[in-house]
């Protein structure tokens, strides 16, 4: 069944889906919203807005499928359409050129940035968080989705509306950028 096929739910079925499939995701949703907006009030508004939209469009959700990915997709779109405009977030990075390179066969040439694991171990959470937050939103998002939330490439491709190859290249690039940021902190710690 495609996601465009609409379901027909009774009012009680809708509430059942909401309580049993949507609400258990609220912590992950809020965490994602906060890491996109950096602001508790904006994150709350974004989560509320997402749930209201999810309820309005619940008939395009098939019960028993991946509610978390479905909700994350709505949240991401709400962020882009409504919240990003008013935030101080720098405009999207122009990584098309980067992605063209990383989609090529050269992906394996630079496996990853060198970073000592024990340096990260000695950092406090704020330093690690700041490094993540300093990434452009599109890079930050793939790290959150993959490394924190455990989404697969396919799920991420659906959430972000991008091809799987782009997910892969963006993730590779994002992880290297993150490590470069962390290396700066590591240097300041004397590593």
Partner 1 sequence: MSSSNHVKDRFFKHINMNEIIEPEAYEKCMKLLPLVMDNEASQEDTSYFTRQIKNWPWVGEYMESEKAFRSIFKSKLAYKLVPDGLADIIKEKIRGNS
Using rule CB under 8 A, residue 158 touches partner 1? no
The whole-angstrom separation of Cα 153 and Cα 156 is 5
CB atoms within 10 A of CB 139: 22
Interactions with partner 1, residue window 56-95 (CB under 8 A): none
Q: How far is the CB of 29 from partner 1 (least distance, A)?
A: 8
Nearer to partner 1, 41 or 94 (CB): 41
The residue within the footprint of partner 1, chosen from 7, 62, 89, 153 (CB under 8 A), is 153
For partner 1 (CB under 8 A), the number of binding residues is 48
Longest dimension (CA), the chain: 62
Spatial neighbors of 122 by CB under 8 A, at least 6 apart, are 189, 191
Using rule CB under 8 A, residue 27 touches partner 1? yes
Using rule CB under 8 A, residue 146 touches partner 1? yes
Nearer to partner 1, 71 or 95 (CB): 71
Q: How far is the CB of 185 from partner 1 (least distance, A)?
A: 11
Using rule CB under 8 A, residue 186 touches partner 1? no
Tell which residue, 81, 71, 18, 20, has the closest CA to residue 47.
Answer: 71
The residue within the footprint of partner 1, chosen from 68, 140, 158, 168 (CB under 8 A), is 168
From the list 61-69, 81-89, 91-99, 103-111, the region that binds partner 1 by CB under 8 A is 103-111
């Amino acid at each position: 069944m495609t996601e465009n096929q609409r379901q027909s739910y009774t009012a009680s079925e809708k509430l059942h889906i909401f309580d049993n499939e949507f609400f258990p995701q609220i912590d992950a949703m809020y965490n994602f919203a906060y890491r996109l907006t950096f602001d508790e009030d904006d994150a709350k508004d974004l989560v509320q807005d997402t749930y209201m939209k999810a309820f309005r469009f619940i008939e395009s959700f098939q019960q028993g499928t991946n509610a978390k990915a479905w909700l994350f997709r709505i949240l991401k779109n709400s962020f882009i359409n409504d919240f990003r405009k008013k935030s101080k977030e720098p405009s999207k990075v122009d990584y098309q050129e980067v992605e063209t390179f990383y989609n090529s066969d050269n992906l394996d040439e630079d496996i990853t940035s060198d970073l000592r694991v024990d340096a990260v171990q000695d950092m406090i959470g704020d330093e690690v968080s700041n490094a993540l937050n300093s990434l452009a939103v599109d890079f930050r998002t793939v790290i959150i989705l993959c490394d924190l939330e455990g989404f697969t490439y396919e799920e991420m491709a659906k959430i972000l509306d991008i091809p799987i190859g782009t997910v892969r290249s963006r993730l590779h690039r994002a992880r290297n950028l993150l490590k470069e940021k962390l290396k700066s902190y590591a240097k300041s710690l004397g590593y």
